[in-house]
Amino acid sequence: MRRLEGKRTIVTGAGSGIGRAIAHRFAAEGAHVALADVDEGAARKVAAEIGGGCLVHRTDVTVAEEVAALVRRAVEEWGGLDVMVNNAGVGVAATTPETSEEDFERVMDVCVRGTFLGMKYAIPAMRDSGGGAVINMSSIAALVGLKERAVYSAAKGAVLALTRAAAIDHVQEGVRVNAIAPGTVETPWISRITAGLPDPEEARRQMRARQPHGRFVRPEEVAAMAAYLASEEAASVVGACMVVDGGVTAG
């Protein structure tokens, strides 16, 4: 069943990890997909993997003019917009005193400002299209305290707060706004944060051991949740935070 047949969608951070998996899943479900990433080459590679029917648009989600241009291009290409996935994000592994002001600003800019701008420009386009669905990428770091994730937790908590407020503001306009809170996902970010440790493989083993189901979450599992939220099956799901974490927050 192709639940997203003909849906006009944008995915930010589509060049790798969760964004790449969402782009693949949406395309497989019949959607038109605009792949947005600050790394245009990575986005073009994903488009080639999908095999056609995608737009590629280099986008820095922290720059209002670039996000506005992204939405405008999708609307001009397809005549409207149905789904916006605000997935682009960055993180830093550090305690509060160890976090530089530059890292603080970067994480807040990409995660919070990027989500805000995505909604600011996508929601009016969805209203003009008769409604739609916004999916914001939060994290279980917004729900529970995690070691050395202070700024990332704050940013993803802000994403969740934005999601809930926007959901109330726009539900009567036919725009549903929801969030996904993944746990530890097998993405290139895991490799980056463990690469500088004395024993990266041991660090990965310890991270896996903390997962109740004994492994990292797969990007495709997060993508499956995104496809559900984008579909009409989720018509009454509004302002929700859908946790995909293998049980980490269960106890």
Residues acting as catalytic residues: 152
Cα separation, 86 vs 152, in Å, equals: 16
Q: Are 194 and 167 in contact (CB under 8 A)?
A: no
For residues 179 and 168, give the distance between their C-alpha atoms in angstroms, rounded to a whole number. 13
* Cα 12 to Cα 89: distance, rounded to the nearest angstrom: 9
CA-nearest of 179, 79, 77 to 119 is 179
What H or E segment, with its residue span, contains residue 11? strand 8-12
Total length of the chain? 251
3-state SS string for 192-205:
HHHHCCCCHHHHHH
Bridge-partner residues for 243, per DSSP? 181
The encoded tokens of residue 121 equal 């420009």
Asked if 211 and 248 touch (Cβ cutoff 8 Å), the reply is yes
H or E stretch covering 44: helix 40-50
CA dihedral 176, 15, 13, 77 (to 10 degrees): -50
